[in-house]
């Protein structure tokens, strides 16, 4: 350890996406090459909560030292070799407090940040690189305010982290959504159905808009605009009846609202206050089927619903989610090596960049409905592609 310039910690939090392992690899290989030791913190923030700062205690479930062999084996795979969790150390429920901290933290909800800081010191972490969405990174910002040197990498297939056009996982999600929607067309066409596909997108509709723009669907509904089911039904029936194979496809974001309500699976929330979304696709399909006769000369149309769910989250990354994480990892090291922290690496207007980390401590990035969504046709709207970023409508500038 005496021969190292310092120690860099890296972790992944929140939902897994393809591209995390390439980011871990990029940070690790660059850091080792620059003379740093790399510690992988396991299970996101949970590793720093559950860790016991004692050399005689087995903390193998909480951290591991990373080397070339560890990261090279995983680079072509999906998921995260460091594992993940949705642990929020600033809002830790009493039943999630580890045994060695239960005498200190006894409230129903606890801020165990002092213990996290102790564990970072125990590991000798000089710089911390969290990879995650705005929930994970908001706690990274909290640590930055506590004096920890943090450079963050944005990850979420919803692409809703503010301050960046692109988040790791988004391209693979869009690619898989297009592939699977096109695969499902054969059964929709064979039975002259309307096909409703539910996809990820809690607060932002980018994962629905981009595939629809690419021709994977005829219509889409997104979280940023409350939709009218009769309007959607009329459009879907119109699309179906004008198609030579008499079918149509509708993409539904999991966070879309119908009649002012989102669809949840139970009342339980995670530590960030999120209830599990799901089921909106089935509800939309049922209502379209019931209303379809009104717009189809009195004849009801069969409607089928399919939730893509974790099929777009699992598996290997596509080309962009192999290249961008590599660049993000190196950008993070560039900043740390020049002594800069409190930053989020980013892509802005198609160019690699970085922004202040406090950008994540605010609202989610969302679709500009007026610019990019036609509320009358329930489709993407765009005036021109000139000077737009790669994914057209993902810039927050």
Residue pLDDT, tens place only, 63-102: 999 999 999 988 788 999 999 999 999 999 999 999 999 9
Residue 50 a catalytic site member? no
* pLDDT level of residue 4 (50, 70, 90 thresholds): confident
Burial class (CB in 10 A: 0-12, 13-18, 19+), 24: buried
**DSSP letter string over 295-333?**
GTTT----EEEEE-GGGTTSS---SHHHHHHHHHHHHHH
Please identify which of the residues 16, 134, 158, 239 carries the catalytic annotation.
158
CA separation for the pair 201, 14 (Å, rounded): 14
The whole-angstrom separation of Cα 155 and Cα 23 is 10
Enumerate the domain spans of the chain: 7-168+317-360, 172-313+369-380
- Percent of the chain past pLDDT 70, that is, above it, reads 94
CA distance 291 to 311: 30
Quick check: do 7-168+317-360 and 172-313+369-380 share a fold?
Answer: yes
DSSP 22: H
Mean per-residue pLDDT over the chain, rounded: 92
- pTM of the prediction? 0.93
In this structure, whether the domain defined by 7-168+317-360 belongs to CATH 3.40.50.450 is answered with: yes
Distance between CA atoms of residues 251 and 184, nearest Å: 12
Which CATH number describes the domain made up of 172-313+369-380? Answer: 3.40.50.460
Q: Which two tokens stand for residue 341?
A: 């922290």
| pLDDT at residue 140, rounded to an integer | 97
Residue 278 pLDDT exceeds 70: no
What is the crossing angle of helices 113-123 and 134-145, to 10°?
A: 80
What are the pLDDT digits (tens) for 156-191? 999 999 999 999 999 999 999 999 999 999 999 999
> Is the CB of residue 28 less than 8 Å from the CB of residue 66?
yes
């Amino acid at each position: 350890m005496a021969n190292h310039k310092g120690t860099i910690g890296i972790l992944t939090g929140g939902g897994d996406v393809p591209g995390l392992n390439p980011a871990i690899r990029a940070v690790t290989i660059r850091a080792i090459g620059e003379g740093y030791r790399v510690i992988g913190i396991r299970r996101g923030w949970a590793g720093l909560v559950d860790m016991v700062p004692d050399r005689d205690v087995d903390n193998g479930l909480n951290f591991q030292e990373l080397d070339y062999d560890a990261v090279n084996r995983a680079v072509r795979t999906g998921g995260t070799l460091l594992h993940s969790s949705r642990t929020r150390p600033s809002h830790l429920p009493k039943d999630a407090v580890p045994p060695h901290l239960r005498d200190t933290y006894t409230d129903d909800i606890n801020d165990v940040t002092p213990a996290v800081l102790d564990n970072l010191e125990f590991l000798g972490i000089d710089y911390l690189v969290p990879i995650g969405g705005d929930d994970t990174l908001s706690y990274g910002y909290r640590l930055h305010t506590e004096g920890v040197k943090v450079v963050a990498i944005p990850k979420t297939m919803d692409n809703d982290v503010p301050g960046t056009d692109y988040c790791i996982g988004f391209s693979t999600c869009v690619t898989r959504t297009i592939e699977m929607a096109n695969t499902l067309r054969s059964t929709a066409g064979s039975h002259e159905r309307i096909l409703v596909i539910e996809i990820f997108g809690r607060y932002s509709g980018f994962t629905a808009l981009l595939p629809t723009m690419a021709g994977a669907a005829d219509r889409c509904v997104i979280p940023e605009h409350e939709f009218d089911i009769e309007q959607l039904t009329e459009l879907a029936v119109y699309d179906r009846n004008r198609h030579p194979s008499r079918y149509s496809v509708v993409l539904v974001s999991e966070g879309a609202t119908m009649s002012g309500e989102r669809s949840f699976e139970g009342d339980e929330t995670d530590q960030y206050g999120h209830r599990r979304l799901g089921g909106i696709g089935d509800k939309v399909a049922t209502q379209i089927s019931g209303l379809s006769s009104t717009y189809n000369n009195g004849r009801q149309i069969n409607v089928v619903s399919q939730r893509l769910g974790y099929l777009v989250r699992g598996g290997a990354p596509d080309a962009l989610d192999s290249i961008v994480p590599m660049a993000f990892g190196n950008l993070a090291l560039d900043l740390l090596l020049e002594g800069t922290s409190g930053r989020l690496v980013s892509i802005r207007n198609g160019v690699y960049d970085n922004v202040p980390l406090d950008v994540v401590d605010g609202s989610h990035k969302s679709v500009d409905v007026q610019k990019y969504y036609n509320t009358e046709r329930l489709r993407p709207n765009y005036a021109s592609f000139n000077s737009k970023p790669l994914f057209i409508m993902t810039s927050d500038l």
